[in-house]
Amino acid sequence: MNTLHQKINVERIMQRIDKLAECSSTDYGVTRLSFTKESEAAAELVSQWMRDAGMSVRRDQLNNLIGRYEGKHSDAPVLIIGSHLDSVVHAGKYDGILGVISGIEVVQTLFENGVQPDTPIEVVAFCDEEGARFHTTLLGSRAMAGSLRDEDFEAEDEKGTTLASSIRELGLDPSAYRLAARDPKTIKGYIELHIEQGPVLEQLDQACGVVVGIAGASRYEFRVEGSAGHAGTVPMALRKDALVGASEMIQAIERITLQYENVVATVGKLTVTPGASNVIPGTVKGTLDIRSIEDEQRHEALKLIVEECERISQRQGLSCYFYKIMESSAVSCSNSFMNVISTVLEMHDIIPFEIVSGAGHDAMAMAAIAEIGMIFVRCKEGISHHPAEEVTGEDMQKAASVLLDTVVKLTASID
Ligand SMILES: [Zn+2]
């Protein structure tokens, strides 16, 4: 445990989280889409809190908010603590925000103790991670990592406003986005604290855990084709029922996935056509989402699933097609950061359980330019992206203290 006189002020964290939750376009839950007046109001508050914590504040070309706390060696590579300011529609109060506010609290605690770290620290509030408005995820962190592309700016929201014009409305020049990219040589590492968004920590009865990596993901659409027909006149033996085939395929997807310890697969959406109670289903369209921390296992499971679905459709006289929508590789957290976080968790009497993140985070994009480390915080029943999202004050206190001690170790803030 550090020897700092002033400790993490959890009341301040909770007040700030409540205050940010007011920056919402809906009364039910928090809705704070990027490049809107709600996100600007949130950025205004966060800027002020960053200044209160002894940081200088700037915005980069994509409207990421960056607070900098100077180190003894101002030209040394910087440790970045970050997460995002935007939310999905009808979200909870903690997703993204907890990481930003905890980062500010860590710096404010150092500041109030009069501690200057060896290396500089930056707290980054990324402008858009969820992609709820433009369906382009990790916008802010991809800009910083240099992986945004010109075509990303053509994305439109539901009113037809492009990302480029929404950035222009804020007085920024979208064509300057490449200037937001950071040189990997100037970054010591990236640390993100985030709610778990799953039930594992609650089941383990631990406030926090150390993240080993972010799962890679494949998303496919599939189509099963049979023959529509009258529900009363076509005998069972002569039917080509696409939904019966799809049901068997979904069972097979679960069976195959269960053979792998580290793979999860979900069929989350089905559309049955024609979709009438007295018509045999002629076509079924569905989605397959498959994730794993081990890319090889994900590819292998996917191959078996496609082969088995083809066998099933052949046996039932159906046709089956898979179309890839997106694919992302798994990202590993840095071993040295994981070791530091695990040591700090033990110092706080928390068992350092290793958790895989099944959800994407800004750390995923930042991994392209920096070593990354992530700390997960328990959330009630694993609920997220919903107004019922909840983190206890006690857990927030522990999590922010773990983040503080991790940052102290990584930046040599105290001898
Ligand atoms: Zn998030």
- Mark whether 232 and 208 lie in a shared domain: no
Tens digit of each residue's pLDDT (9 = 90 or more) over 312-352: 999 999 999 999 988 999 999 999 999 999 999 999 999 99
Distance CA 325, CA 303 (A): 16
Distance CA 87, CA 24 (A): 9
Distance CA 366, CA 123 (A): 14
Cα torsion 224, 230, 232, 237 to 10°: value is: -50
Q: What is the pLDDT of residue 414?
A: 75
On whether the CB atoms of residues 221 and 321 are closer than 8 A, the answer is: no
On whether the CB atoms of residues 20 and 93 are closer than 8 A, the answer is: yes
Q: Write down which residue in 328, 353, 386 finishes a domain.
A: 328
Candidates 101, 112, 144; CA nearest to 6 is 112
- Mark whether 311 and 388 lie in a shared domain: no
The answer to the question of residue 111 being in a domain is: yes
On whether the CB atoms of residues 219 and 325 are closer than 8 A, the answer is: yes
- Mark whether 198 and 339 lie in a shared domain: yes
- Mark whether 196 and 111 lie in a shared domain: yes
Candidates 78, 399, 149; CA nearest to 66 is 78
- Mark whether 55 and 132 lie in a shared domain: yes
How confident is the model over 97-112, as a mean pLDDT?
A: 98
- Count of structural domains within the chain: 2
Distance 305 CA to ligand 1 centre (A): 30
The answer to the question of residue 3 being in a domain is: no
- Mark whether 210 and 227 lie in a shared domain: no
- Mark whether 259 and 377 lie in a shared domain: no
Distance 87 CA to ligand 1 centre (A): 8
In which domain, by residue range, is 126 found? 10-215+330-411
Distance CA 379, CA 389 (A): 7
Q: Reduced to 3 states, what is the DSSP secondary structure of residue 146?
A: coil
pLDDT surpassing 70 at residue 384: yes
Q: What is the pLDDT of residue 2?
A: 78
Distance 347 CA to ligand 1 centre (A): 27
Q: Write down which residue in 270, 301, 328 finishes a domain.
A: 328
Distance 283 CA to ligand 1 centre (A): 36
The answer to the question of residue 153 being in a domain is: yes
- Mark whether 282 and 204 lie in a shared domain: no
207: domain CATH number is: 3.40.630.10
- Mark whether 273 and 359 lie in a shared domain: no
Q: Is 155 exposed, middle or buried (0-12, 13-18, 19+ CB in 10 A)?
A: middle
- H or E element at residue 21: helix 10-21
The answer to the question of residue 1 being in a domain is: no
- Mark whether 68 and 165 lie in a shared domain: yes
- Mark whether 224 and 291 lie in a shared domain: yes
290: domain CATH number is: 3.30.70.360
The answer to the question of residue 290 being in a domain is: yes
On whether the CB atoms of residues 64 and 180 are closer than 8 A, the answer is: yes
Distance 408 CA to ligand 1 centre (A): 24
Distance of CA 317 to the CA centre of its chain: 41
Candidates 412, 411, 350; CA nearest to 375 is 350
Distance 183 CA to ligand 1 centre (A): 24
- Mark whether 221 and 354 lie in a shared domain: no
Distance of CA 287 to the CA centre of its chain: 20
Cα atoms found within 13 Å of the Cα of residue 170, Cβ hemisphere only: 23
Q: Reduced to 3 states, what is the DSSP secondary structure of residue 13?
A: helix
Residue 415: pLDDT band (50, 70, 90) is low
pLDDT surpassing 80 at residue 1: no
- H or E element at residue 200: helix 200-204
- H or E element at residue 404: helix 393-411
Distance 96 CA to ligand 1 centre (A): 4
Tens digit of each residue's pLDDT (9 = 90 or more) over 58-103: 999 999 999 999 999 999 999 999 999 999 999 999 999 999 999 9
Q: Write down which residue in 328, 360, 379 finishes a domain.
A: 328
The answer to the question of residue 194 being in a domain is: yes
- Which residues surround the ion ligand 1 when the cut-off is CB under 5 Å? 95-96
Distance 302 CA to ligand 1 centre (A): 27
Tens digit of each residue's pLDDT (9 = 90 or more) over 158-215: 999 999 999 999 999 999 999 999 999 999 999 999 999 999 999 999 999 999 999 9
The size of the chain, in residues, is: 415
